[in-house]
Structure 1
């Protein structure tokens, strides 16, 4: 076997090891996936509670340093910009809106999660839906990295009037 054949063989072995290792490391055990979804669900509910309880420091604790929030007219990049944009929502006795997850999914490797759910005005009427991406920054520590609300269409608002609101967070 010449040097070139040895090199090709070594490259093949390395590729197999990398592919095999990443395939094994890339999936969370079945019970682990449910636990991770529960962690993100709890984080999203605590994040929403920060608004209901008018607790801006609690809101801040859920933000990644690289958080990216899509506002109605601009994108807020980084924790300081998101805090500045959301500070006004935390002023006053009554929250201007509320939200709760109705769906959470976690990547197979357990590093990122997506949550989505209804956003309601102070009267409890469904006005939009949010979509958020969470990153596990330390074991069991989820922080939000992306967030965007999407207004409902007129048809969706009409359908929402027919369906009673269900409590989604404890």
Structure 2
């Protein structure tokens, strides 16, 4: 009986060690999200709306205009106009990624450029891990640039 208990304990420890070592590091997850964001942005350059759609979570919310746009189908319809024509009207590139310690959600952000390459704003996206190595955007928001002057101190 004692031998069986020791065997179960050893197997449990081994299974825990394998499960723990199988999880990518936070740095690896950040690299995954950076690569996903770059591939997402490449869909605009390639003029590939279907590929864009593949990066958007079914229940995503994009802040595109006055009211939030909810759900992949609605987001794709709103963004369809940006994918028409031979030249992309804007582009974006990530310059920052942060991943929760749980490894399930990530933030990406970076500059947005107009068709001439001038920075016109910044984007902020939240990504959710769907499966190992598979990230999808759940929230997205872009802000225009402003010359707002110095900000008052916050209390």
Shorter-chain TM-score tier? 0.7 to 0.9
Q: 1:28 to 1:82 in 2, by over 3 A?
A: farther
Matches within 5 A, 1:55-70: 55-70=48-63
Aligned residues: 130
Structure 1 contact 28–109 (Cα < 8 Å) conserved: no
Q: 2:46 is matched with which residue: 42, 50, 53?
A: 53
How far apart, CA to CA, are the structure 2 residues paired with 1:130 and 1:145? 13
TM (norm. structure 1) is 0.73
How far apart, CA to CA, are the structure 2 residues paired with 1:96 and 1:73? 20
Q: CA RMSD in A?
A: 2.0
Matches within 5 A, 1:12-31: none
For structure 1, the residue ranges without an aligned partner over 5 or more in a row are 1-26, 157-170
Alignment-derived partner of residue 120 in structure 2: 127
How far apart, CA to CA, are the structure 2 residues paired with 1:84 and 1:109? 33
TM (norm. structure 2) is 0.79
Instruction: Using the TM superposition, give the Cα deviation of residue 72 of structure 1 relative to its aligned residue in structure 2, in angstroms.
Output: 1.9
Structure 1 contact 118–128 (Cα < 8 Å) conserved: yes
Alignment-derived partner of residue 6 in structure 2: none
Structure with the higher helix share, 1 or 2: 1
Aligned to 1:129, the other structure's residue is in SS state strand
Alignment-derived partner of residue 73 in structure 1: 66
Structure 1 contact 28–110 (Cα < 8 Å) conserved: no
Q: 1:114 is matched with which residue: 107, 112, 115?
A: 107
User: Cα deviations across residues 63-115 of structure 1 (Å, max 9, x unaligned)?
Assistant: 10011000122211000110010001000000000000000000000000000
How far apart, CA to CA, are the structure 2 residues paired with 1:144 and 1:71? 14
2:146 pairs with 1:153 = yes
2:125 pairs with 1:142 = no
Aligned to 1:60, the other structure's residue is in SS state helix
